[in-house]
Structure 1
Amino acid sequence: SYHNTFILGGGPRIGHAVAEKLASQGYSVALGRRSVHPSVDIKNVMSVTVDVASIRSVETAFAQVRTKLGIPEVVVYNAASLTFPSRQDDPFSVPPEAFANDTAINVIGGYTALCAATRGWVELREGSSAAHKHRGVFIATGNVTPFYPNPFATSLGAGKAGLVHLIKLAEQEYKATGDRQVLPSPWITRWYVQAWSLTSVDVVGRFLGVNIGTPLQRKLSKLACLLFGIAVVFAIVCMAANEFSSNNEVIMYAVATGISMIPACLVVVLTITMARNVIVRKLDSLEALGAVTDICSDKTGTLTQGKMVVQKAWIPSRGTYSVGPSNEPFNPTVGDVSFSAVPPSEFDHEKPGMAENAEGMVSGNRQLEDFLDVASMANLSHVYKSEEGEWSARGEPTEIAIHVFASRFNWNRDRWMKKGQGEGTVWHQKAEFPFDSTVKKMSVIFNKITPEEDRTMVFTKGAVERIAESCTSIIWDQESSTPVPMTDHHREKIIENMEELAKLGL
């Protein structure tokens, strides 16, 4: 029978080419990509969403492939990440944060895939008959950077070198096990490190500029390379016609002939032609604008004013809180607040609940208090009422919208952190960890000092997937205040309700 194959890293070249080739030969193929879109689906190939930088995402992807196709006997790790040094003369000018992000993809993701693959092969070995021989194959695509250091590929070379070490270590261990022949069925494992790919070509292409930039910039780079080659040929012809004489006049004539082939005014003429009656900071923006075929806009203030309003919030153990229409995004007193004890997936959006007193909802509602603590404390915006009585705000639109939502319940950050307002200073900030694109979340550390308690809390907000991955427990059951262990079922329900809100454009 044909092998089940799982390819991690569905790039448009190697990943897609390998998937199409194996599928055409009868393999059952699953292709793991960061984002799955129907327009790039391959016939007879299962598409799986996977973020190789996330351990949980890789393990979940293997579980999905196992459910649909069976245990993958062939695993291809084609994922890679490369950050070029900011200075070409310094290979260590790659920011440490970018290096860590690349390492998570190049090494940790590969190690997680390696662990998941070997666990599956062990199960196949233990459940197979003596007459049936399994072959576990792990292929890691790569290039020569682990063996020949390249100053342009600092993070990629280090990551691929680590992956090579893991594969060679696994090769030694499993080769020894297979040589013993003590198991009821022979177990043959083949490991491959393919030290070739288009990555080396990509590095040269980036240096020449033929595979980066806009289509016009790439065409101009190719034209420049072609003209340079022609200039070199003509210079050689001139030198050859003079029997490669070392006379200065001959050399100058040959060089002048080569230089005359290069259109020095091409860039100037192109700039004047493209930027007629247009003032731009970057010329490539004109090309991008010229390639636009459709312009889509919305009727809300997100694009027109850069202002947003939180309309729904879901607390699993309580229900869904909704905010009515508001023409003043900074004013927490405008817009009715209602509550429904169902999740968004079961919410009837055409029949909103009855408006209630927002401050009254907080009384005796510990889950809502905890939610509002995060909304107001893990927030860098400032929502306030001016001396003229008008509500204003400073900060990012998303954070302002979250802060305004908390203020509807009289849970404004100033109430708990400034003296002379509300109940006085209760929360004292100790540290702040700004939003990081690698972890997709931000955190703050606060001390809560009251006559009844003195405790330290960490408040975190960010991408739903990353927050769910970080949680180990959750208060889930309705009307319950007891945390239970966070399971994959809980995470799936959270994502399901998040997608339900996303369908509404919220």
Structure 2
Amino acid sequence: MKATEKTVDSFQEHISGQSNKPLSRPPHSLEAIQVLEELNVDAIKGLGPDDAARRLAELGRNELRQQKGVQPLKIFLEQIFNAMTLVLLLALGASFGIQAWIEGGILGGIIVLNIFIGFFQTLQAEKTINSLKNLGKPTCKVVRDGKTIEIQTADVVPGDIIDLNTGDSVPADIRLIEAVNLEADEALLTGESAPVSKMPNSVFDEDTGPGDRLNVVYSSTVITKGRGRGVVFATGMFTEIGLIAGALNGGSGNKSRVKRNEHGSASVLAYLAAGFMAAKSWIGEFLGLTIGTPLQRKLSQLFLWLFLFAIICAIVVLGVNKFDSRKDVIIYAVTTAIGTIPVSLLLVLTVTMAAGTKKMLERHVIVRNLSSLEALGGVSNICSDKTGTITQGRMVVRKAWLPGCGTYSVYTTNDVYNPFAGEVEFAAGQPKDIDSVSEKEHNLRAEPIDTHPEPATKPALQWFLNVASLANLATLKQNAEDPTSSGEWTASGAPTEIAIEVFASRFGWNRVQLSQGSEASWKEIAEFPFDSDVKKMSVIFKNVASEEMHIFTKLHRLINAYL
């Protein structure tokens, strides 16, 4: 079976779940072998160099369509061409026309300051965002001509065979061929906070939603567990994340269409009506009456009404003076008109927004457009059905109970990946006994402990930490040599395993330090990944000092150590 010859000319016409060149059916509704046949690729050998180059030239690079880079002239013109600034410019011209130099100078200063603040604030934000986009060029492992090589993600094409492992970022939309305990974090795409288990041998209906296509992994999601192999069927703007990007960058889409009769012809009146609607839409956007935030639209309307009112006031003044063209009468009429316009309102608004932008920057948030702050400030209620949408989507071990020993509790933890953040307290009791006391009261009468010397005096804690750290596929590391420095902590793996690894690292039990390097105290012999049937995972480690073999097993609900 060959791929359909029809090519989608625009990603805007693309159907969710389909390939760049549509297959007979969406890949999630086909067997993996059918997808391979339609994409004309071998699951073992992959694409050849010439075939991959041809597809790259034909279908384009695996990149999201970006808006043009920083455009200072466009940003500058956006600060000028709006109703509020244009009214102030007209007032400036009128002031200089009657030789009111002081009033004109003040107006000019307000206009220049407003444009200056808005221009440089927006320009700086655009440059920062543009530099973030160019920080790094991600790579992935792809099978080409029977060999696994590493290439830039942008060079991936439909038909490429991709190998996926824990911690990998998925380079494109991929139909899985095989998988072993494969789970992916799809919070970025679907808002689902928990990792999603994948089933490569399943086939789903064509109308199945993206979150339920368990035989597909999506571009920009992350593999949190297991390994797998799949074939790329969609790249760039044809991926699910590309469809979202296209919708966000697609503009308003309010195009005026000419009404035609059943024969396809249109009357002159229809063309005039379409032209009128197009002109109305353009003028509204030019003056800021139909675009921007609600506050911006209302202010634009206010300034236009005030400008009209100012003209009426000037006409009234001239009418009272019988339209005498003496200089003092004209000056009085123009001054009355200008006095009705709140010239400082625009500057006050811009300065307020700029101050808010600076405050947001202190919280590590880049505000691309000053108007975004007004939209954010107008939010009164947030409705969300996904834990990971507006939260971090991360887990923290709050309490760990060791039978016959006691309970360790973690408090005041803001940086969930940092094992040095927060306080650890110990109480000789079960969690239910501790939970009967409020956290505030508990903190007042309990003293934090020094975690690193603690395991030396409690063998039960040592074995607990051995299992927690070694029977764990998560990795935790800091981007700095000094553990007490402010370097950022990063982690990869399933959220539950990361939380357990962070807890063990609070006591100095880090998997990487224990099992890797010249000073490693444990050497890994074998690993038995988590199996959904037996609901446990096991690892075999050799104690370097005693040369004894140990099996550490982590169950679905309990953590046990077997010697």
TM-score normalized with structure 1 length: 0.33
Largest Rg, 1 or 2: 2
TM-score normalized with structure 2 length: 0.30
Bigger relative contact order, structure 1 or 2, given CA contacts below 8 A and separation 6+?
2
